[in-house]
Amino acid sequence: MKARQYAEALYLATKDKDDAEVDRILARLVELLMARGHRSLLSEVLRELIRLTKKRASSASVVVQVCAAPDVEKYAAGIAADIAVLGAAGLARDIQYDPTQIGGYEVRALGKRIDRTHKRTLVDMYHTFVGGE
């Protein structure tokens, strides 16, 4: 596992926990890292956790990026479902327009992103046809 994955797991495990529970979770993480021979990752995990915490704390809104204004209504059901998946249903929405997307939408909130743009689909298809480069 990478430090970022450990940090993500730690962030989710300690969210909304009291100090005693956080201490127990941290002690278990150190035990796990030592058992797996990943003790050297501990400082990197903590740096990633701090970065992740700052990033998610600064996310006070949901950014919805679409190609054009009519796409907001066209993809409203999918956008709402993805916002719920990200756990950001109560946050304010910030609609942004990017004509290079061609179609579809992208939702970003709480340091996470769901990309359902046609641009992403086309780029993935290109890489598949070209040989995965």
Same structural domain, 73 and 50: no
Domain of residue 42, residue span: 3-57
Same structural domain, 65 and 106: yes
- Angle formed at CA 111 by CA 29 and CA 123, multiple of 5 degrees: 115
Which amino acid does the sequence have at 121? T
pLDDT above 90 (res 55): no
**What is the per-residue pLDDT for 99?**
86
Same structural domain, 109 and 75: yes
**What is the per-residue pLDDT for 133?**
53
Which amino acid does the sequence have at 81? A
- pTM comes to 0.55
The number of distinct structural domains making up the chain is 2
70 touches 99 (CB < 8 A): no
Dump pLDDT digits (tens) for 68-82. 999 999 999 999 999
Q: With H, G, I as helix, E, B as strand and everything else as coil, classify residue 128.
A: helix
Same structural domain, 41 and 77: no
